[in-house]
Amino acid sequence: MNEELKVRKIENGIVLDHLPAGKSPDIMKILGVDNQTEETISILMNVSSTRQNKKDIIKIEGKGFEDLVVDKIALLAPGATVNIIKDFNVVEKRKIKIPDVIDVVSCPNPSCITNQREPVKPRLLVEAADPLKVRCYYCERVFNEHDLLEKL
Amino acid sequence: MDIISTRNMSRDFIEDVLEKTKKMEPIAKAKKQVDMLKGKTLATLFFEPSTRTKLSFMAAMNLLGGTVVGFDDPRTSSVKKGETLADTIRVVEGYANAIVIRHPNEGAAALAAKFSEVPIINGGDGSNQHPTQALLDMYTILKEKGKLDGLKVTLAGDLKYGRTVHSLAYALSKFDVSFVFASPPSLRMPRWIVADLKSSGISVKEINSIEVKSDVLYLTRIQKERFPDIEEYQRVASAYILDEETLKELGEETMIMHPLPRVNEISPGVDNDRRAKYFVQSFYGVPTRMALLAMVMADI
């Protein structure tokens, strides 16, 4: 059977493509998908891919690009793409890139001033994307992807 | 201008501070007031105890003709009532021309700088940085060795939590130095700092006992609280003590430094040795902080 037929096309919504194989459960967590979720969601894990050898795909019916916390997804899946679907057609493809500054994840250093009820957002400066290396603007400590995932 | 961290300081900036410190030294020695900062007010916000840093900032401000306001016991301030640091800073900046802050959380000085219109000087933020200590340490080394390039520097003791050694390592890394980091395995220099130093081309060697043949031997206190029990502490800490016995092994030109206070890392029998420089190092805190205060408030 053709791979594409395993899960049917969606009418309106988004497709997260080129996710690293095996990362979709973590990404579902970021998307806030749980037993209260009403949208139709399809998850494909370990799909053969020419670009990545294996990849994961998540299809979400009825959601738009603006519903995604792109900077969080970027931490787990830099280089992934978001296909925006209208009337069964891809109307736009957006590449997910790691931003220069991450403010959607708190600093993993519990003693950092940004974790002490101060009126500031976290400010993690990206020094390298692959492998991920960020430095807190405030406490100056350096963290990797593993450190940040625990804070997602 | 803020003084937050030595990590981002350039070699030119550090040399400029040291040059200005040299000009301040005679005033500090004479203890005779000048009026360079007359009419200016320094606020000292010490959320953590301090003796040397606070006193030397007060002495420095006084010698330059300025006034000091502040607190050194957060229990008596509005902080106890739950005020955020951001609010404290926005209030105090209205009273002062510059603020020195010491705080138990890393990043506190950088946060203060974000909210303050007046210059912020970091007097120590958690286990992160203590840049004014590093600059006075640099001045001490320069005075005693006549140079900062080409030196082998051993930093010993608690390198994990010791903010003075973090700041000093970054400051010295702007010069051509090599490091020996001597510490118990559980108190090693943080990995990211070692990585930063190595990526700026600095040689780093990590060992478990003090290296006595360096140009500079910089000792720091190992706190009992860092160990699960007193026996473990005593067993580990004994390898980082300088006494009359270990002094015999010390290099002829190895200068001994310590940010003070010491407990038993350096026995009093070492104090009169010509290589012991920790008390003069402590004195240099005054001219160094005079230079920094004048730079941030008088733009000299």
Q: pLDDT digits over B22-64, tens only?
A: 999 999 999 999 999 999 999 999 999 888 999 999 999 999 9
The two tokens of residue B209 are 């006992």
Domains of chain B: residue spans and CATH: 11-130+284-298 (3.40.50.1370), 131-282 (3.40.50.1370)
Burial class (CB in 10 A: 0-12, 13-18, 19+), B267: middle
Chain A interface disruption, residue of B6, B106, B166, most A CBs within 10 A = B106
Over 80: is that where the pLDDT of B76 sits? no
Q: Min CA distance, B189 vs chain A (Å)?
A: 12
Question: Which of B84, B125, B196 comes nearest A119 by C-beta?
Answer: B84
B128 closest CB neighbour out of A117, A137, A139:
A139
Residue A129 neighbours by CB distance under 10 Å:
15
Predicted ipTM? 0.94
CB within 8 Å: A139 and B106: yes
- Amino acid B35 reads D
- CA–CA separation, A20 vs A24, rounded Å? 8
Q: Which residues pair with B61 in a beta bridge?
A: none
Residues of A with CB under 8 A from a CB of B: 107, 109, 111-114, 116-120, 135-142
Phi then psi dihedrals of residue A143, to 5 deg? -130, 155
Structure pTM? 0.91
- Whether the CA torsion B85, B90, B96, B99 is positive or negative: it is positive
In the beta sheet, which residues pair with residue A41? A60
The C-alpha of B157 sits at a distance from chain A's nearest C-alpha, in angstroms, of 21
Distance (Å) from the alpha carbon of B98 to chain A's nearest alpha carbon = 20
Assess whether pLDDT exceeds 70 at residue A56.
Answer: yes
Residue B47 DSSP class: S
Average pLDDT over residues B73-93: 84
In this predicted structure, which of A5-14, B184-193, B262-271 has the lowest mean pLDDT?
A5-14
CB pair distance less than 8 Å for A120 and B126: no
Show the tokens assigned to A109: 């250093």
Q: Tell me the C-alpha distance between A137 and B132, whole Å.
A: 20
Look at A113 and B111 and tell me if their CB atoms are within 8 Å: yes
The answer to whether residue A5 scores a pLDDT higher than 60 is no
Which pair of tokens denotes residue A89?
A: 């057609």
Nearest Cα to A98, choosing from A64, A59, A65, A126?
Answer: A126
According to DSSP, residue B117 is labeled: S
If pLDDT is split at 50, 70 and 90, which confidence band does B86 have? very high
Q: Can you give B229-246 as a three-state secondary structure string?
A: CHHHHHHHHHHHCECHHH
Tell me the mean pLDDT in the region A15-41: 89
pLDDT at B77: 66
Point out the residue among A112, A114, A140 whose CB comes nearest to the CB of B7. A140
Cα separation, B154 vs B179, in Å, equals 6
Residues of A with CB below 8 A from B106's CB? Answer: 109, 111-113, 138-141
pLDDT digits (tens, 9 = 90+) for A105-134: 999 999 999 999 999 999 999 999 878 999
Nearest alpha-carbon partner for B270 in B222, B212, B209, B188: B212
List the one residue out of B122, B111, B105 whose CA is nearest residue B167: B122
Catalytic site includes residue B52 = yes
Q: Are B273 and B248 in contact (CB under 8 A)?
A: no
Q: Find the CB nearest B110 among A109, A111, A137.
A: A137
Active site residue B143: no
Element (H, E) at B292: helix B285-297
Q: Are B288 and B242 in contact (CB under 8 A)?
A: no
The minimum CA-CA distance between A142 and chain B, rounded to whole Å, is 6
Query: What is the average pLDDT value for chain A, to the nearest integer?
Result: 90
Q: Which of B54, B130, B258, B289 is catalytic?
A: B130
* Mean pLDDT computed over A14-38: 90
Compute CA distances B148 → A104, B144, B152, B156, whole Å: 42, 10, 10, 19
Give the containing element (helix H, strand E) for A86.
strand A81-86
- Residues of chain B positioned with their CB less than 8 A from the CB of A109: 106
Task: Compute the residue count for chain A.
Answer: 152
Let me know: does B230 contact B167? Beta carbons within 8 Å: no
Query: Is residue B176 pLDDT above 60, yes or no?
Result: yes
